[in-house]
Structure 1
Amino acid sequence: MKFNFTKLNSKTTAFFLCDIQDKFRPAMPLFDSLIKNTSKLLKMGKALEVPLFVTEQYPEKLGRTPKELDISHACVLAAKTQFSMLVPELECKLQEVYTENKLTDVVIFGIEAHVCVEQTVLDLLNQDIRVHVVADCCCSRAKQDRRTALNLMRHLGGMITTSESICFNLLGNKNNPKFNAIRDLVKAVSEDMSEK
């Protein structure tokens, strides 16, 4: 699907945090950078009042969302066994949150890029929702899986972007009243997720 690019609006945008869990830490070569970048993105989203939706894949075995990530403002924290984030609990909460304004855009980030993130992106695109995949907040165990997934999601119509780009897209203008809340967050350069 091909979408016309439009600026993000916090009232019609959702942040999807996909399965960033403690048990993945030893297996993910980019996990520490992912955590730092995701923490910054979550703080930006909270300051800009973008609703956050979080899933955990089979948390009984794979653990919970790391304590370094503040998800206290999440609209929902849904456990799941299917790979796509679009489980009934999350979809129900989406309908509840987006009654006045229609959901048009999802900013997605998490683990693993080629499994749960990719399958969620496919489901969202099939619902005609614009999807922004935050490359510096996505990883897989194998670098080639991450790289291939990002290429595939771009090819299918997902917009591959970065956490800082999302932030400035949502702000739109230096004179945005939320700019001061964000300024210190963007001073620190995001961790490099390039594959060495």
Structure 2
Amino acid sequence: MDATRSSLLIIDVQEKLYPACEAPDQIISNCCFLVTCANRLGVPVIVTEQYPKGLGHTAKAISDLLEKPGDTSKGGNVVSKVSFSAIPADGFVEKIEESPGRDQVVVTGMETHVCVLQTVMDLIERGREVYVVADAVTSRSGHDKIFGLERMRDAGAKIVTRESVMFEWLRVAGTPEFKELSALIK
């Protein structure tokens, strides 16, 4: 993974959905960790919301880290959808292709075996290099998460952890970015 080639995609971590999934607090924390890293390293962040009228909006801890009006220093493009894959959602493809040269997509969210899986499969089909963050995805049941991850790996996605993402994006120690972000895991 390369910070200059990556986008971070957070799929459907929403108010009424995440409490029903396994390890919701860990997923929120790990997504926030990755958004913080992305913001510091200039990696664009795209967020999807599945039927927000019924499932609510993105968890507050995550949305608080996203771009605010007039603040161009952070990522944070929110796309509403009703399809399970984000690809057909109005504006999603434009958001993912907004920054030329960003052919890698680091994916987090829920549910692993539904919206994450279908989006990942479609991104791979569109020629993207996809990294699924195993400790930042979840489903309502553990076996659904396991089989979703296996299927994505079989399709060509790379399964990684949040720390792998951070250290690969950083590339070297001793920089101000390294000092700031490595403090998050101590």
Q: TM-score, normalised by structure 1?
A: 0.85
Q: Which residue of 2 aligns with 1:180?
A: 179
Q: Tell me the CA shift for residue 177 of structure 1.
A: 4.4
Distance 1:28 1:141 in 2: 4
| Aligned-pair Cα RMSD in Å | 1.3
Contact 1:54–1:74 (CA<8 Å) still a contact in 2?
Answer: no
Distance 2:176 2:132 in 1: 26
Contact 2:9–2:46 (CA<8 Å) still a contact in 1?
Answer: yes
Q: Which residue of 1 aligns with 2:118?
A: 119
Q: How many residues were matched structurally?
A: 177
Structure 1's 148 and 128: CA in aligned 2 closer, same or farther, altered over 3 A?
Answer: same
Contact 2:79–2:90 (CA<8 Å) still a contact in 1?
Answer: no
Q: Which residue of 2 aligns with 1:59?
A: 52
Q: TM-score, normalised by structure 2?
A: 0.90
Q: Which amino acid letter does the alignment assign opposite residue 92 of structure 1?
A: E
Distance 1:33 1:135 in 2: 11
Distance 1:74 1:59 in 2: 20
Q: Which residue of 1 aligns with 2:19?
A: 26
User: What whole-Å deviation, never above 9, does each CA across 1:59-97 have from its counterpart, x for those lacking one?
Assistant: 000001111112223341111001112223121123332
- Deviation beyond 4 Å, 4+ runs, structure 1: none
User: What whole-Å deviation, never above 9, does each CA across 1:109-132 have from its counterpart, x for those lacking one?
Assistant: 001000010011101111121110
Q: Tell me the CA shift for residue 178 of structure 1.
A: 1.8
Q: Are residues 1:43 and 2:36 paired?
A: yes
Q: Which amino acid letter does the alignment assign opposite residue 95 of structure 2?
A: K
Deviates more, 1:46-55 or 1:68-77: 68-77
Q: Which residue of 2 aligns with 1:138?
A: 137
Contact 1:13–1:104 (CA<8 Å) still a contact in 2?
Answer: yes
Q: Which amino acid letter does the alignment assign opposite residue 15 of structure 2?
A: D
Distance 2:96 2:164 in 1: 24
Distance 1:133 1:96 in 2: 21
The secondary structure found in structure 1 opposite 2:140 is coil
Distance 2:176 2:96 in 1: 27
Q: Which amino acid letter does the alignment assign opposite residue 83 of structure 1?
A: F
Q: Tell me the CA shift for residue 135 of structure 1.
A: 0.5
The secondary structure found in structure 2 opposite 1:178 is helix
The secondary structure found in structure 1 opposite 2:136 is strand
Q: Tell me the CA shift for residue 133 of structure 1.
A: 0.2
Distance 1:90 1:59 in 2: 15
Q: Tell me the CA shift for residue 142 of structure 1.
A: 1.2
The secondary structure found in structure 1 opposite 2:8 is strand
Contact 2:3–2:170 (CA<8 Å) still a contact in 1?
Answer: no
Distance 1:95 1:126 in 2: 15
In structure 1, stretches of 5+ residues that fail to align are: 1-7, 188-196
The secondary structure found in structure 2 opposite 1:97 is coil
Contact 1:44–1:185 (CA<8 Å) still a contact in 2?
Answer: no
